[in-house]
Amino acid sequence: MRQRLAAIMASGKASAKAERAAVSKAVRYFETMATGVLGVRDGAKSAPGGARVYGQMDCIDESRNTRTLLRYLQRHGLLRHHVVQRNSARGFFLDVRYPHATAVLRAKSGDEWAVDSWFEPAGGAPDIMRLAEWKKRGVRGAR
């Protein structure tokens, strides 16, 4: 697995933008491998009450798993243009947004990026966008 992740991340050496594209591929690979080994199926999003479905992850699970992967990449020198940050959250019902969490990368330029794998089933491409834009989204459950 380490060799495959290193190969995936090698495609992101050229720039921060290329590295984010490589991170997307790494997240997809990691989720596909993990759910296959565990024998679970994680569908897109998780509806209220989804906690009772074996293998279904909510945004807290997803953001923690993604951050764990990102920290692994960082620890092994596979992130060159970004640094892993604490997870971030948005929404609190009163603002008509369901609470939601994401993993975060900070580019060496200072820009922060959300890496949100919750909206797709395991192995799907995560949303990677500026954190400020991500924080504005989510009204009435919209992506």
Q: Report phi then psi at 83, rounded to 5.
A: -125, 135
Contact 68, 60 (CB under 8 A): no
Look at residue 50 and tell me whether its pLDDT is greater than 80.
Answer: no
To the nearest 10 degrees (0 to 180), the angle between helices 16-38 and 2-10 is 160
pLDDT interval class at 134 (50, 70, 90): very high
pLDDT interval class at 46 (50, 70, 90): low
Look at residue 10 and tell me whether its pLDDT is greater than 90.
Answer: yes
The answer to the question of residue 14 being in a domain is yes
Look at residue 96 and tell me whether its pLDDT is greater than 80.
Answer: no
Look at residue 55 and tell me whether its pLDDT is greater than 80.
Answer: no
Domain of 48 in residue numbering reads as 2-136
The answer to the question of residue 37 being in a domain is yes
Sign of CA dihedral 11, 84, 116, 44: positive
- Interior CA angle at 136 toward 133 and 141, to 5°? 120
Name the residue type at position 9.
Answer: M
**Distance of CA 42 to CAs 10, 35, 59, 115, 126, Å?**
28, 7, 12, 17, 14
Tally the domains of the chain: 1
CA nearest to 139, candidates 101, 102, 91: 91
- Position 95 scores a pLDDT of 79
Measure the CA–CA gap between 63 and 104, rounded to whole angstroms.
Answer: 9
The answer to the question of residue 143 being in a domain is no
Q: Which residue has the higher pLDDT, 110 or 99?
A: 110
- Position 60 scores a pLDDT of 87
The answer to the question of residue 22 being in a domain is yes
Both tokens of 30, joined, read 């990691």
The answer to the question of residue 141 being in a domain is no
